[in-house]
Amino acid sequence: MTLTTFALVRHGQTDWNAQRRLQGSTDIPLNEIGRGQARDAVAALAGYEWDTVVSSPLSRAAETADVIAAGLGLSVARRLPGLIERGYGKAEGLQAGPELDAVRIPGGFEGAESEESTAARGLGALEDLAEEFRGRRVLVVAHGTLIRLALDRATGRTLPSVENAALNLVHHHPVDGWELEFFNGERLLAGVEV
């Protein structure tokens, strides 16, 4: 069985996360809590040998990946545009309330990327990596909505929000597809041999 194992890690916290603002594709940096979350994530990831580390090019994911990779004695191989967070259009930077409600439309927000498009883009990037690194272990640092929507599509589940810097471990088999072992640091499967 040729399993490709992925750790899908959401970036650490930013000030906009703390303020509950929609970030989307706006490039907001990590805050100090987020840097600490990135350092803490190393412990959960150190139990595996990783063949490569890739991330979204947005600074919050890139810095999280750099911190994690350094903690594991690795370096980030590349930044993949396909891993950028869902664009929320006019809603980016807004918090829940009248301003956000004013840009809401059926299925999302004015100018926003659709969930379907985000899921297809994110899963496409992961499938490309699964093909390139077949049978190996790939550590990916990206964004919460992108990871959740890609995993929803890959596994046929409807998952809750992805926590900052938590371990999400998924396996890809070229024939059998995707199997989620850990989500938000919690084991979902009894054990997958990797």
Per the CB < 8 A criterion, the answer to whether 163 and 76 are in contact is no
Per the CB < 8 A criterion, the answer to whether 96 and 84 are in contact is no
The reply to whether 15 sits in an annotated binding site is yes
173 in catalytic set: no
The reply to whether 128 sits in an annotated binding site is no
Q: Which residues of 149-188 are buried (b: 16+ CB within 10 A; e: fewer)?
A: bbbbbbbeeeeeebbbbbbbbbbbbeeeebbbbbbeeeee
The reply to whether 191 sits in an annotated binding site is no
Catalytic: which of 85, 92, 113, 181? 85
Torsion of CA 43, 53, 131, 192, to 10 degrees: 0
The reply to whether 10 sits in an annotated binding site is yes
The reply to whether 143 sits in an annotated binding site is no
The reply to whether 48 sits in an annotated binding site is no
Residue 177 to residue 172: CA distance in whole angstroms: 5
The reply to whether 87 sits in an annotated binding site is yes
Catalytic: which of 11, 143, 171, 172? 11
The reply to whether 178 sits in an annotated binding site is no
Q: Which of 99, 24, 7 is nearest to 60 (CA)?
A: 24
Active-site residue numbers? Answer: 11, 85
Residue ranges at the known binding site for substrate: 10-17, 60, 85-88
Binding residues, by number, are 10-17, 60, 85-88
